[in-house]
């Protein structure tokens, strides 16, 4: 999910957190929409490119999801299609690193993944919201098996190294106690008639009952240690069987302690529209989607093709590229039309013959910085010791979060955690500047402050910094409102015989759905242009 730059001193993420915690997810979603931060998928069903293109040819640049979506649909509509892809594999940022894989960043840093068989990390996209209908439909069409992705786990940790003596707190406790204290405060205001004029007397009575239920308040509308609050936050001693089986309710955390800790800021993840359950992941890794597309259009792809020039004339487009498997070998490919899905960070460095407005738009969009670190451990201690089955723990440490696998629950043996996921900001840039090995080392050091088991159980790890990715030079388009207003339409227009597509050409940046919807929109408009021509 994209994280935006500061807005009058407060980041959009923090602003949304405040709105979500205080006003609820419905109000927050309205705010997200107005900020251009979230939008429902615009997928209207499977595309129908009706009409005969009469043998027209299309050259597609990039074999990520946007490029392969275009190839799949255009070939089916009767076009002659060719794809040029920089990498030696298809999928782009839809990618899974598995044991035995070798990856190389800019500067030549090369890592060989030493994960055991069946273990993997998704360095790019790693979850699919239930409302990303376009992506889900293609998964269905292409036979990609999905399984639930556990985004929210009440038993995961919230951690601030400067609060509670650095001890991680259960998300369940912070959420329930914060909610309970707020409900008690609002209940007191309501009982004193302070809402007169805003809420009718009848509604005030209903509100009090609702607060009692929502906030786990007792008969006196107080949030306190007892049987009622324990049903929500859990127990100091869980109910058992036989003698001595009576439960002992847990002691709520004080409101002041919660507020000062800042841990409430992560509670917005319960309300963010993009993280609502049910979320999905492909069985065996996110890269299964790209592999499924490649099974359909792989015969159209020329791999190891580094684009150096894109020319167009009245009758067609010619692209010059270097075969990176045979350096110095320059080749050309031509077609009547071109769908370019190259990330803007790369495209801005390529000689492309388009108008000034599109060129300016291409150069106007920076890309977000992101780093991920995958860590393999000897055993699934997060389940065995901490009873955390899936979900994410959040921390103020530079790693920002730890995501637990949503597969192979309650089994013995090894497991892989997403031990670091940074997005923009100083932490991300600092991790990007490190060597891959140093990132892994730091992820273990920081993670051990949350899970002391790290240092004894760690086996091997791998990292990827997207600003050091040779084929993207960044993670995802990082639009501002001002840039969108000035450049977005110019970026998406058909310029002569060239149209751009990709997550950067969507209102769902950083998500695979944005890439697919952008591609479908681009080829629909291109198809109309072809028929008119």
Q: How many domains does the chain have?
A: 3
Strand 80-84's sheet: what is its strand order? 301-302, 80-84, 57-61, 337-340, 498-500
Whichever domain contains 175, its CATH number is 1.20.1440.240
Query: Is residue 52 a part of any domain in this protein?
Result: no
* Pair type for strands 458-465 and 370-377: antiparallel
Q: CA 302, CA 54: separation in Å to the nearest integer?
A: 24
DSSP-assigned states of every residue in 314-336:
SS-EEEEEEETTSTT-EEEEEES
Q: 492 and 348 share a domain? A: yes
Range of the domain at 134: 97-155+277-285+368-468
User: How high is the pLDDT of residue 17?
Assistant: 52
Q: 385 and 449 share a domain? A: yes
Q: 74 and 113 share a domain? A: no
- The DSSP call for residue 360 is H
Query: Is residue 489 a part of any domain in this protein?
Result: yes
Residue 356 DSSP SS3: helix
Query: Is residue 161 a part of any domain in this protein?
Result: no
Query: Is residue 331 a part of any domain in this protein?
Result: yes
Q: 373 and 453 share a domain? A: yes
Q: CA 60, CA 252: separation in Å to the nearest integer?
A: 58
User: How high is the pLDDT of residue 269?
Assistant: 87
pLDDT by residue for the chain (533 residues), tens only, comes to: 433 333 334 444 554 555 555 444 444 444 444 444 444 567 888 899 999 999 999 999 999 999 999 999 999 999 999 999 999 999 999 999 999 999 999 999 999 999 999 999 999 999 999 999 999 999 999 999 999 999 999 999 999 999 999 999 999 999 999 999 999 999 999 988 877 778 888 999 999 999 999 999 999 999 999 999 999 999 999 999 999 999 999 999 999 999 999 999 999 888 899 999 899 999 999 999 999 999 999 999 999 999 999 999 999 999 999 999 999 999 999 999 999 999 999 999 999 999 999 999 999 999 999 999 999 999 999 999 999 999 999 999 999 999 999 999 999 999 999 999 999 999 999 999 999 999 999 999 999 999 999 999 999 999 999 999 999 999 999 999 999 999 999 999 999 999 999 999 999 999 999 999 999 999 999 999 999 98
Query: Is residue 9 a part of any domain in this protein?
Result: no
Q: CA 152, CA 454: separation in Å to the nearest integer?
A: 22
**Residue 147 backbone dihedrals phi, psi, to 5 degrees:** -140, 160
Cis ω for the linkage preceding 278 (within 30 of 0) = yes
Angle at which helices 65-76 and 287-297 cross, to 10°: 30
50 class by beta-carbon count within 10 Å (0-12 exposed, 13-18 middle, 19+ buried)? exposed
User: How high is the pLDDT of residue 419?
Assistant: 98
Nearest CA to 495 among 333, 344, 362? 362
Q: 400 and 281 share a domain? A: yes
Q: 249 and 115 share a domain? A: no
Q: CA 177, CA 226: separation in Å to the nearest integer?
A: 13
User: How high is the pLDDT of residue 14?
Assistant: 53
Q: 398 and 429 share a domain? A: yes
Whichever domain contains 408, its CATH number is 3.90.660.10
Residue 201 DSSP SS3: helix
Whichever domain contains 308, its CATH number is 3.50.50.60
Q: 378 and 464 share a domain? A: yes
User: How high is the pLDDT of residue 197?
Assistant: 77
Query: Is residue 148 a part of any domain in this protein?
Result: yes
pTM strictly above 0.85: yes
Q: 385 and 462 share a domain? A: yes
* Pair type for strands 317-323 and 330-335: antiparallel
Q: 412 and 351 share a domain? A: no
Residue matched to tokens 């107005």 = 34
Q: 241 and 216 share a domain? A: yes
Q: 415 and 441 share a domain? A: yes
Structure token pair of residue 320: 């010059």
Query: Is residue 69 a part of any domain in this protein?
Result: yes
């Amino acid at each position: 999910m994209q994280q935006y730059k500061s807005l009058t001193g407060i980041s959009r993420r923090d602003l949304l957190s405040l709105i979500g915690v205080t006003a609820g997810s419905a109000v927050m979603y309205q705010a997200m929409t107005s900020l251009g931060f979230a939008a429902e998928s615009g997928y209207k069903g499977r595309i129908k490119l009706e009409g005969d293109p009469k043998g027209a040819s299309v050259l597609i640049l990039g074999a990520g999801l946007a490029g392969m979506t275009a190839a799949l649909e255009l070939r089916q509509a009767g076009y002659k299609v060719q794809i040029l892809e920089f990498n030696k594999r298809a999928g782009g940022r839809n990618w899974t690193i598995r044991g035995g894989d070798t990856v190389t960043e800019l500067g030549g840093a090369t890592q060989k993944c030493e994960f055991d068989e069946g273990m993997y990390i998704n360095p790019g996209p790693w979850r699919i919201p239930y409302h990303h209908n376009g992506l889900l439909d293609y998964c269905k069409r292409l036979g990609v098996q999905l399984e639930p992705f556990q985004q929210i786990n009440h038993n995961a940790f919230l951690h601030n190294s400067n609060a509670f003596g650095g001890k991680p707190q259960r998300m369940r406790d912070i959420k329930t106690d914060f909610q309970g204290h707020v409900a008690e405060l609002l209940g007191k205001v309501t009982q004193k008639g302070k809402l007169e004029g805003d809420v009718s007397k009848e509604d005030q009575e209903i509100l009090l009952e609702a607060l009692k239920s929502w906030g786990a308040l007792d008969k006196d509308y107080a949030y306190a240690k007892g049987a009622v609050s324990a049903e929500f936050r859990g127990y100091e001693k869980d109910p058992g069987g036989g003698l001595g089986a009576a439960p002992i309710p847990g002691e709520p955390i004080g409101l002041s302690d919660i507020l000062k800790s800042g841990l409430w800021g992560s509670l917005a993840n319960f309300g963010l529209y993009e993280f609502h359950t049910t979320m999905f992941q492909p069985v065996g890794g996110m890269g299964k989607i790209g592999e499924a597309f490649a099974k359909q259009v792989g015969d159209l792809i020329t791999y190891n093709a580094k684009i150096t020039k894109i020319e167009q004339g009245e009758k067609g487009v010619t692209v010059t590229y270097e075969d990176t498997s045979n350096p110095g070998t320059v080749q050309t490919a031509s077609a009547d039309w071109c769908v370019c899905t190259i990330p803007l960070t790369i495209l801005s460095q390529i000689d492309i013959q388009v108008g000034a407005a599109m060129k300016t738009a291409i150069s106007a969009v920076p890309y977000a910085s992101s780093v991920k670190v995958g860590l393999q451990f000897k055993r699934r201690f997060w389940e065995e010791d901490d009873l955390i089955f899936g979900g994410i723990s959040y921390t103020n440490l530079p790693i920002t979060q730890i995501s637990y696998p949503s597969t192979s629950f309650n089994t013995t043996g090894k497991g892989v955690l997403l031990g670091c996921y940074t997005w923009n900001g100083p932490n991300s840039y600092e991790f990007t500047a490190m060597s891959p090995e140093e990132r892994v080392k730091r992820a273990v050091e920081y993670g051990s402050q949350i899970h002391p088991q790290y240092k004894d159980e760690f086996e091997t790890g791998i990292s990827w910094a997207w600003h050091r990715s040779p084929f993207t030079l960044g993670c995802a388009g990082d639009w501002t409102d001002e840039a969108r207003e000035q450049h977005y339409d110019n970026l998406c227009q058909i310029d002569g015989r060239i149209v751009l597509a990709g997550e950067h050409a969507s209102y769902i940046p950083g998500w695979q759905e944005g890439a697919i919807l952008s591609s479908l929109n681009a080829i629909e408009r291109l198809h109309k242009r072809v028929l008119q021509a």
